[in-house]
Each structure stands twice: as C-alpha cells, then as structure tokens.
C-alpha cells in the first residue's frame, strides 16, 4: 500500500482535505503529523477508513522532523502535502534551532521533509505545498490585511528580530514565507525525478482555519464574525470548500506541469516577483546548507 504524508491535518482546510482523501482513496495509507491527541482515530471514525496513522512531529524542530522522517524509511510514498503553516504577531521568537518560527514551519519544514524522503517517492507521486495569494502583496490578493512580502538574504529571513516585535513584522514574515514556498516549488521542479511532480496550492482567503490564533482579540473576533461572512462571496472559501480543492490538487487529475501554481481550481500564474531564478537558487542553497541531509 502506498503512503501519503500530510502536515497540518488537525483543523480547518487540512482536516477537510484529509477526510476527503480518506473517503476517496481507501487504497492509500494517510500518515498525518501531529503533536499529540487522537487525530488519527478521529479521522478514521469520521471517514470509516482505518488506513490513517499519526506520526508524532513538531514542525518547528528539525530534530523532530528528522525523527519522523526516519520512521517512514520503509514506506513507498505517493505524495506529500505540506499544509501546516503559522502566522505570528511578530518576528521576535525563535525555535529550538534558533530559527524564526514562521520561516521554520512554512518553508524549512517542507524542504527538510522532501529532502529526507527524496528516495521514498515512487512515481507517479505528487508534492503539494500550500501557499497563499498574500505573496502577491497587493490589495486584490490580501484584502489589505497582510503587508506585501519583503525579500531579504535567506540568512536574514531565518533570523528572529526581537528588536522589532510588531504585528506588521509578523505578517510580513508570513507573506514572505509564502513567496519562499513558490520559490521552493520552482527549485524542486527542476530537481525532482521524472514522475514526481510538485505544486504550490493557493486556497485563497479561508476564514475559520485557526491561522490567526496568535493574533490579538480584535483580529480573532473579526475572523470569527465579519470576515467569515465573506464565504458567501467570491472573495473567500469555507475550510470545507478549500480542503476539498486541496485534496483534488493532491489526488485528483494532474493539475498542470510540475512547478505550477494551482490557484484553488486550476493552474494559474503566481506573482511576477515569484519568477526569480536567482532567488530560487539562493533559497535552495541556503536551505541545504542550513540543514544538510543524507537521503534515507
């Protein structure tokens, strides 16, 4: 039985995607990373499919990611869904590895999992990294809620900034990390073997996912009330609707050429800034240097 690894399946669109995959692909073993709890049992009960396993992992810890990947060394992987993401209220924090957590979870964790499991992917396989249209940096795509990305040397992106503990800094780190996800997908597409595709998936604006759980009370209130009403408009999707589209990107018909940006329903162009070969290669080299790996 082939194995599909997924991060961020505990809530929101990730939970909806995991449930759809289990209902539609009983021939695949779904492995979901978790920091504890009964996630696998809950998914099995809600879908009637017992082919789901929990993999203990703290995505902010490279040590934990390495241990989790080692537990999959005997599996043939048909795919990886990097859905987990964080948005913090500042860039002032650091992981146990000394890395700014937004970059650690949204970018480095995906890169490290794919590199560690590189030889486990069996064609046809599909890697889907969840991005965000906040990487465009304009009003149309971020609704004025998230600042535009600000690219810096990768060493600076990984560094916490305790001297500037502002909410704008935290949100800028988020949009910049999602620009980095597109760069990472492009770099992977040039390197993955034939038959192993990689895509960035953009769910659009999805209120009610828990992404703003680190925000202040006003932002959390607006997310639960006024902004959730946007689901009734073309400006937003519900977690269930976005999750269904994420599942389609992972297990449905091939959405496009490897490296494509899948904007909800179909492949589309990402931001002009996201097509920068030099930045893509700079990011790849920096990530490899930050966490050298021996493929399992």
Q: Which domain holds residue 98?
A: 2-290
Residue 200 lies in a domain: yes
Question: What pLDDT is recorded for position 37?
Answer: 83
- Total domains present in the chain: 1
Question: What pLDDT is recorded for position 144?
Answer: 80
| Long-range Cβ pairs for the range 264-269 (8 Å, 24+) | 264/202, 264/203, 264/204, 264/237, 267/199
Average pLDDT over the chain, rounded to an integer: 91
Q: What is the average pLDDT across 122-144?
A: 93
Residue 240 lies in a domain: yes
Half-sphere exposure in the Cβ direction for 82 (13 Å, CA):
29
Residue 295 lies in a domain: no
Residue 281 lies in a domain: yes
Residue 11 lies in a domain: yes
Check whether 222 has a pLDDT greater than 60: no
Residue 16 lies in a domain: yes
Q: pTM for the full model?
A: 0.91
Residue 296 lies in a domain: no
Question: What pLDDT is recorded for position 208?
Answer: 63
Residue 46 lies in a domain: yes
Q: Supply the CATH number for residue 223's domain.
A: 3.40.50.720
Q: Given pLDDT bands bounded at 50, 70 and 90, which one contains residue 227?
A: low
């Amino acid at each position: 039985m082939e194995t599909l690894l997924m991060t961020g399946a505990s809530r929101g669109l990730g939970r909806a995607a995991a449930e759809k995959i289990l209902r539609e692909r009983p021939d695949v073993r779904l492995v979901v990373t978790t920091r504890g709890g009964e996630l696998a049992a809950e998914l099995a009960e809600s879908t009637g499919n017992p082919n789901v396993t929990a993999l203990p992992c703290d995505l902010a810890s490279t040590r934990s990611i390495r241990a989790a990947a080692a537990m999959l060394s005997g599996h043939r992987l048909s795919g990886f869904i990097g859905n987990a993401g964080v948005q913090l209220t500042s860039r002032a924090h650091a992981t146990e590895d000394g890395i700014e957590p937004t970059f650690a979870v949204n970018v480095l964790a995906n890169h490290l999992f794919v590199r560690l499991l590189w030889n486990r992917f069996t064609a046809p396989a599909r890697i889907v990294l969840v991005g965000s249209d906040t990487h465009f940096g304009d009003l149309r795509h971020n609704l004025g809620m998230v600042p535009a990305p600000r690219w810096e040397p990768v060493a600076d992106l990984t560094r916490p900034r305790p001297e500037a503990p502002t909410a704008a800094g935290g949100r800028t780190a988020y949009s910049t990390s999602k620009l980095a996800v597109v760069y990472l997908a492009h770099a992977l597409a040039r390197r993955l073997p034939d038959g192993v595709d990689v895509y960035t998936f953009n769910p659009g604006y999805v209120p009610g996912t828990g992404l703003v759980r680190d925000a202040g009370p006003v932002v959390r209130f607006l997310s639960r009330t006024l902004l959730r009403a946007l689901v009734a408009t073309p400006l937003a999707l519900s977690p269930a609707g976005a999750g269904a589209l994420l599942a389609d990107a992972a297990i449905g018909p091939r959405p496009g050429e490897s490296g494509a940006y899948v904007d909800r329903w179909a492949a589309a162009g990402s931001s002009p800034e996201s097509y920068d070969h030099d930045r893509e290669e700079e990011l790849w080299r920096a990530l490899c240097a930050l966490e050298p790996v021996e493929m399992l």
